[in-house]
């Protein structure tokens, strides 16, 4: 495995924070940035023969992409998969005094083809069209909210404290995990265009509050209605938000977290089964057996 | 005032290198070691 890492650390004049890049095999690379700039910054991508496919995930203040005839403004939790026409210049705009945090995955499709070759016949038409455009001739933009699962994976990349070989393997693994989840979301939504409902920022904040409650209060049984009421949303909006951000229902999300918690407690604590079921808020024997079966599978 | 930078975008490392070159002294650029320290 060949990886190359580069880091740019901003100092006083330009702000505080970093832009870091790491390249992996098969033409895949990432840039991860977390900074507070003191000046507005515009990065113009020069016209090159290679026109990589880019997946930009915004985690913080709005980022704007300007092309010759397009303007995309990405707010927090929005993503953009894009590949402008080769003749088209593109500029990313970052705003000063606001936290700039993003992950951008670059894929040089000409090199990546080697990895995809054996799967080409089995790929969906959408993916094949996207990845077979080796030179990036076709203009392509796909903007959407990304799931909080992807958001958590990006946080794992940002907080990785491994080094050398382990770091490279970890980062490459997480990058492919994000890519897979995103492409799944992309192909599903392409087949369900009516599902592209935008979430308001205030709704996202409330959904995040609901997630926080689920994680912190695993030992308490809480209904979807009660959870929705606590965060100030109605049940349907909460369900729709979870579906959009996590690709799952509220109850499934709760169940998955309870199973994960049960797994951790089974492996790392001296608690007996009854104590564990109380810790994850299950007091029915039949249900707890089902949960623990899932936790041990 | 907006800082405008043109970068070559064939590979991610070149984007960071171009940014670093344009920003001149106001950056550290490093290959593989000290600056690439997750977490910051």
ipTM of the complex: 0.77
pLDDT-derived band of residue A174, with 50, 70 and 90 as boundaries?
Answer: very high
**pLDDT given at position A136:** 76
What does the alpha-carbon distance between residue A51 and residue B11 come to, in Å, rounded to a whole number?
Answer: 10
Dump strand ranges (E) for chain A.
4-10, 15-23, 28-37, 41-45, 53-58, 63-66, 71-74, 78-83, 90-94, 99-107, 140-145
pLDDT-derived band of residue A196, with 50, 70 and 90 as boundaries?
Answer: very low
Q: What is the mean pLDDT of residues B6-31?
A: 70
Which DSSP state fits A17? E
Tokens of A248: 């799952």
Which residue from B minimizes the CA distance to A162? B38
Which of A1-10, A24-33, A217-226, B13-22 shows the lowest mean pLDDT across its residues? Answer: A1-10
What does the alpha-carbon distance between residue A79 and residue A245 come to, in Å, rounded to a whole number?
Answer: 12
pLDDT-derived band of residue A173, with 50, 70 and 90 as boundaries?
Answer: very high
Phi and psi at A92, nearest 5°, equal -100, 130
Instruction: Measure A162 CA to nearest chain B CA, in Å.
Output: 7
Tokens of A82: 């894009």
pLDDT-derived band of residue A56, with 50, 70 and 90 as boundaries?
Answer: very high
Check A18 against B17: CB less than 8 A apart. Answer: no
**pLDDT given at position A296:** 63
pLDDT of A294 above 80: no
Instruction: Measure A144 CA to nearest chain B CA, in Å.
Output: 23
Query: Is residue B21 within 8 angstroms of chain A, CB to CB?
Result: no
Check A157 against B13: CB less than 8 A apart. Answer: no
What does the alpha-carbon distance between residue A174 and residue A169 come to, in Å, rounded to a whole number?
Answer: 9
Q: Are A213 and A222 in contact (CB under 8 A)?
A: yes
Check A7 against B35: CB less than 8 A apart. Answer: yes
What does the alpha-carbon distance between residue A199 and residue A64 come to, in Å, rounded to a whole number?
Answer: 19
Bigger pLDDT: A2 vs A136: A136
Check B2 against A5: CB less than 8 A apart. Answer: no
Cα angle A216, A77, A89 (rounded to 5 degrees) comes to 160
Chain centroid to CA A15: how far?
A: 26
Query: Is residue B3 within 8 angstroms of chain A, CB to CB?
Result: yes
pTM: 0.73
Q: Are B7 and A45 in contact (CB under 8 A)?
A: yes
Check B1 against A39: CB less than 8 A apart. Answer: yes
Q: What is the mean pLDDT of residues A3-8?
A: 78
Dump strand ranges (E) for A134-236.
140-145
What does the alpha-carbon distance between residue A45 and residue A55 come to, in Å, rounded to a whole number?
Answer: 15
Render pLDDT for A132-172 as a digit per residue (tens, 0 to 9). 888 777 888 899 888 878 888 999 999 888 888 888 899 99
- Average of per-residue pLDDT values in chain A: 84
Check B11 against A167: CB less than 8 A apart. Answer: no
pLDDT-derived band of residue A103, with 50, 70 and 90 as boundaries?
Answer: very high
Which residue from B minimizes the CA distance to A52? B10
Instruction: Measure A65 CA to nearest chain B CA, in Å.
Output: 14
- Residue A166: CA atoms inside 13 Å, Cβ hemisphere, count? 5
């Amino acid at each position: 495995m060949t990886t190359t890492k580069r880091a740019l650390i901003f100092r006083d004049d330009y702000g505080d924070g970093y832009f870091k890049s790491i390249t992996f095999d098969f033409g895949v690379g990432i840039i991860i940035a977390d900074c507070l700039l003191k000046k507005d910054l515009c990065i113009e991508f020069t016209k090159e023969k290679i026109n990589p496919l880019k997946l930009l995930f915004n985690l913080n203040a709005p980022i704007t992409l300007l092309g010759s005839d397009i303007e995309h403004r990405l707010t927090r939790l929005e993503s953009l998969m894009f590949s402008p026409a080769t003749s088209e210049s593109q500029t990313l705009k970052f705003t000063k005094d606001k936290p700039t945090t993003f992950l951008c995955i670059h894929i040089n499709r000409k090199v990546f083809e080697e990895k995809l070759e054996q799967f080409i016949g089995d790929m969906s038409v959408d993916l094949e069209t996207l990845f077979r455009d080796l030179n990036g001739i076709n203009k392509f933009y796909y903007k959407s909210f990304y799931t909080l699962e992807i958001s958590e994976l990006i946080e794992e990349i940002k907080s990785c404290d491994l080094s050398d070989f382990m770091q490279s393997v970890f980062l490459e693994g997480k990058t492919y995990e994000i890519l897979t989840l995103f492409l799944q979301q992309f192909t599903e939504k392409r087949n369900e265009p009516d599902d592209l409902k935008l979430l308001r920022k205030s709704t996202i904040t409330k959904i995040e509050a609901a997630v926080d409650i689920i994680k912190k209060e695993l030992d308490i049984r809480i209904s979807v209605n009660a959870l929705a009421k606590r965060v100030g949303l109605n049940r349907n909006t909460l369900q729709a938000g979870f579906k959009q951000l996590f690709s799952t229902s509220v109850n499934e999300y709760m169940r998955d977290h309870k199973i994960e918690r049960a797994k951790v407690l089974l492996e790392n604590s001296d608690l007996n089964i009854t104590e564990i079921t109380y810790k994850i808020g299950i007091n029915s024997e039949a249900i707890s057996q089902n949960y623990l079966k899932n936790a041990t599978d | 005032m907006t800082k405008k930078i043109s970068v070559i975008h064939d590979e991610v490392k070149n984007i960071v290198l171009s940014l670093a070159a344009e920003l001149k002294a106001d950056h550290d650029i490093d290959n593989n070691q000290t600056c690439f320290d997750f977490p910051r």
